[in-house]
Structure 1
Amino acid sequence: ILDDLFPAHIASALREGRKVEPEHKEMVTVFFAEIYGYSSLSTEMSTSALLDMLHRFYVALDAYAQECEVYKLETIGATYMAITNLVEDQDSSHAVKIVKFAMGAVRIASSTFIDLADPSKGVVQIQVGVHSGPIVANVVGTRRPKYTLFGDTVNTASRMESLSLPGEIQCSGMQPEDLDFVLVSRGEIAVKGKGQMHTFWIRSK
């Protein structure tokens, strides 16, 4: 179970009873995606149908994350969090890997029926945010330890997601020459705790 919940070196330390020290990473890329309209869906659908939707969508995302060399951190309800350049060094390609994954996640969502028993409900839509920067990772707790990220990079990535739009991927500060995709300026938006930020939509070429 530990190997499913933690990176290999963390799982090994926990098994051996060794203390896990905080890890500082100077540059990672963090991904957040949230299912658009989830609150409404949770009141309109049966619990079993809602859980089935989440299961189908997350299983597909997990498989694609592995293909893209993206590390899944956790899912909380309708939110999926992932990261690159944390559990293994991925040099400057880590942002590209996340962008590839993000674009694939939007495609996967658009092919996932909300309710298999009622196709008229349509397909899943997600809004996505990504951001690159430094973080600190550590295991928090002892009874039910959790691998957790800390730092402004996480907060900013989360803000990029919450201020995104259905079917869109929003980012801030990425260098276009590092990407195989087009950055389309959204202009300046108000971001909680950050003031005005110039952000971009990530689109395929």
Structure 2
Amino acid sequence: LLWTAPELLRDPDMRRKGTFKGDIYSFAIILQEVVVRGPPYCTSDLSAEEIIKKVKKPPPLCRPNIAPEMAPLVCIQFKTINKGKKTNIIDSMLRMLEQYSSNLEDLIRERTEELEIEKQKTEKLLSQMLPPSVAEALKTGGTVEPEYFDQVTIYFSDIVGFTTISALSEPIEVVDLLNDLYTLFDAVIGNHDVYKVETIGDAYMVASGLPKRNGNKHAAEIANMSLDILSSVGTFKMRHMPDIPLRIRIGLHTGRHLNIRELLQLYFQH
């Protein structure tokens, strides 16, 4: 009964049911035991029966006494920190929820930005690999229908003696050679109405008249582009073999009823 609130001591029926306020009182008595490391009311000289009698029927008010010097340092610090603040468990829970929500929003924002960056990389790579109309259809989950072109001109070139050059070069030197050469080619074809189909080893394939039709201009576009590429190769220098001139072979072909799907199949096969 030493842990029982005064109003519950006075009303046996209420004591059997219990109350929230009575629980708080009992919890306070337990905290007193923790602080002083002793039984309830251990600082009093009264017996348990006398304490219960005084608690049940005040005045005078009978409560456990705790000397300030006996309180743990952590209690004193907690009181100092919260001086002038009205805090309770609900406020603490709300602060925790707000902090958790803020952290979650930051995490979602960070993941969304990362996802958007990866999406842009994928779309950029897709647009470089495939015609814009095909890339857009694939992004939206659509199907790529076969499309026929009456007249298309194809450009195909490779490096003369590439096998010998590769045998006399380090792997990284071959990579640098192809990267430098194809960067040069890419800059040239940007000035013409052509579409880069693929690079296969030292081979470079370009088409005009697809995926965007240009009437009868496809042959002229490829021919002019070929002359520009040939001219640019004349001044091209290999980094590791600057004194050896680079030569390329160029082939052109104009055909009827070329299916864009066949070009895509050719691409994916390589």
> TM above 0.5, one fold?
yes
Q: What TM-score comes out, normalization by structure 1 length? A: 0.65
Do the aligned residues in 1 keep the contact of 2:151 with 2:254 (CA within 8 Å)? yes
> In structure 1, what is the equivalent of residue 259 of structure 2?
136
> In structure 1, what is the equivalent of residue 160 of structure 2?
36
Q: What TM-score comes out, normalization by structure 2 length? A: 0.50
**CA pair 34-118 structure 1, distance change in 2 beyond 3 A:** closer
> In structure 2, what is the equivalent of residue 174 of structure 1?
none
- 1:119 equivalent to 2:236? Answer no
Q: Percent identity?
A: 28
Q: Which has the higher contact order (CA 8 A, sep 6+)?
A: 1
**Which 4+ stretches in 1 moved above 6 angstroms?**
none
C-alpha distance in structure 1 between counterparts of 2:241 and 2:266, whole Å: 38
Aligned Cα RMSD in Å?
A: 1.7
Q: CA offsets per residue over residues 26-73 of structure 1, 9 Å max, x none?
A: 100000001100011110111111111111110110111111121110
Q: How does 1:29-68 map onto structure 2 within 5 Å?
A: 29-68=153-192
**CA pair 41-117 structure 1, distance change in 2 beyond 3 A:** closer
Do the aligned residues in 1 keep the contact of 2:196 with 2:207 (CA within 8 Å)? yes
C-alpha distance in structure 1 between counterparts of 2:240 and 2:266, whole Å: 38
**Unpaired runs of 5+ in structure 1?**
140-145, 151-205
> In structure 1, what is the equivalent of residue 98 of structure 2?
none
Greater C-alpha radius of gyration: 2
Structure with a larger share of its residues in helix: 2
> In structure 1, what is the equivalent of residue 49 of structure 2?
none
C-alpha distance in structure 2 between counterparts of 1:2 and 1:97, whole Å: 25
C-alpha distance in structure 1 between counterparts of 2:206 and 2:154, whole Å: 6
The match for 1:93 among 208, 217, 221 is 217
Amino acid of the residue matched to residue 132 of structure 1?
T
Do the aligned residues in 2 keep the contact of 1:57 with 1:108 (CA within 8 Å)? no
Secondary structure at 2:151's aligned position in 1? strand
**CA pair 112-104 structure 1, distance change in 2 beyond 3 A:** same
C-alpha distance in structure 2 between counterparts of 1:148 and 1:83, whole Å: 15
Amino acid of the residue matched to residue 104 of structure 1?
D
Do the aligned residues in 1 keep the contact of 2:154 with 2:252 (CA within 8 Å)? yes
Secondary structure at 2:224's aligned position in 1? helix
> In structure 2, what is the equivalent of residue 147 of structure 1?
264
Amino acid of the residue matched to residue 125 of structure 1?
R
Structure with a larger share of its residues in strand: 1
Secondary structure at 2:210's aligned position in 1? coil
- Aligned positions, number: 142
C-alpha distance in structure 1 between counterparts of 2:190 and 2:233, whole Å: 17
How far apart are residue 147 of structure 1 and its match?
A: 2.2
Q: CA offsets per residue over residues 121-153 of structure 1, 9 Å max, x none?
A: x122100000111211117xxxxxx82469xxx
Q: CA offsets per residue over residues 97-122 of structure 1, 9 Å max, x none?
A: 100111111122222112x24422x1
Secondary structure at 1:33's aligned position in 2? strand
How far apart are residue 22 of structure 1 and its match?
A: 1.3
